[in-house]
Structure 1
């Protein structure tokens, strides 16, 4: 008989730090967030479509004197302001999410050029999506809280009573539409990301979730929706 996989727990910011196993969880958090930034850069250089929020980020770079990573950081903190009326509480992972991903994306973009060959761009796009799924599982599995955009989704879900799927779809359709109006790039990569990221993260999350010693079983979340940064 197989042993049960560790579950994600819904902990407050102080409890996240007191939960233990920091020597495993903190490096995993940083690695996951850094890889997330790398994955975004891969999709940008693939130039075949971006993840929904990144369509918006890229569109904003056309009007702001900021890099893609800097726009991502600014938008993350703007989204965090929306947590206030939703009564969402950020954790360490939430704040680091808002910063590390943008820095990692800019660092990768600085050394990675866009190839001319379509097959190479396709490899970058697919690699970006797969790496994003792994990165998502790593940082969520470290049990340091949701990213800014995830908190917006779950907060709206709680406040409106609408399903997580409906809320997430509504948010992502809105940000893609705004991004396209601003000149962001959507394409086959956007579709692939939308279809693949959920199953990828869902499959990898049980293997990346760090079990917390002495966690209250009542706080274990049985079914975690696919997440975004």
Structure 2
């Protein structure tokens, strides 16, 4: 196996590790029931009106975001983008029956916070592979480009639109949603710094 092939395999493994952590973290946040991130807010609204489960909606929304990003700038995407779109939903599907049975997680603020920490770690691990933008990141960059917004303002606008759509569909927000808005970004940045130092 040549060096280029080894590097590709390494990137795939890193992407899978980060992706699985993200999926388990999302299900932990949902089970804790203290408010979720923007995309999960939308999905919880969609689940109320369709027979499609949360995990499958996660995959469908991710693939939709990738499709929009592809038409905006396909260079933002990579093989990791597709892995992330599919396997976050699979990690949610596998972990749901396990986590939902753990009573100490249900309606727990501590479990919610832990979920967001794990989500930030998983996202940072995924991004560190540099193997293509994740669905939400790609969508954010597309919105910024189309509306001529800064990354910060583009993310705020995107999150607002997604959460608003979720609320219209009957979803709700909680303190966990504030975790997502104010803490997720800084935690991802912090984990990226740590990962970068470790790799050096």
TM norm structure 2: 0.88
Name the counterpart of 2:43: 57
Q: What is the rounded CA distance, in whole Å, between the counterparts of 2:96 and 2:104 in structure 1?
A: 18
Distance 1:148 1:198 in 2: 16
Per-residue deviation at 1:24?
A: 3.1
Higher-Rg member (1/2): 1
Shift of 1:200: 0.7
1:94 paired residue number: 81
Partner of 2:66: 80
Q: Which runs of 5+ in 1 are unaligned?
A: 1-16, 213-229
Displacement, 1:210? 9.8
| 1:163 equivalent in structure 2 | 150
Q: Quick check: 1:66 aligned with 2:62?
A: no
Distance, in Å, in 1 between the alignment partners of 2:165 and 2:109 is 25
CA–CA distance in structure 1, aligned partners of residues 8 and 79 of structure 2: 12
Runs of 4+ in structure 1 off by over 6 angstroms are 117-120
Work out the number of aligned pairs and report it: 196
Between Structure 1 and Structure 2, the one with more helix by share is 2
Superposition map of 1:143-158 within 5 A: 143-158=130-145
Query: What RMSD, in angstroms, separates the aligned Cα atoms of the two structures?
Result: 2.5
Unaligned runs of 5+ in 2: none
Shift of 1:25: 2.4
CA contact (8 A) 1:62 1:183 kept: yes
Is contact 1:77-1:148 (8 Å) kept?
yes
Provide the TM-score with structure 1 as the length reference. 0.78
Give the structure 1 partner of residue 181 of structure 2. Answer: 194
Question: 1:85-111 CA distances to partner (integer Å, 9 max, x unpaired)?
Answer: 312332111101110000101111111
2:20 and 2:104 map into 1 onto residues whose CA distance is 27
Superposition deviation, residue 22 in structure 1: 3.3
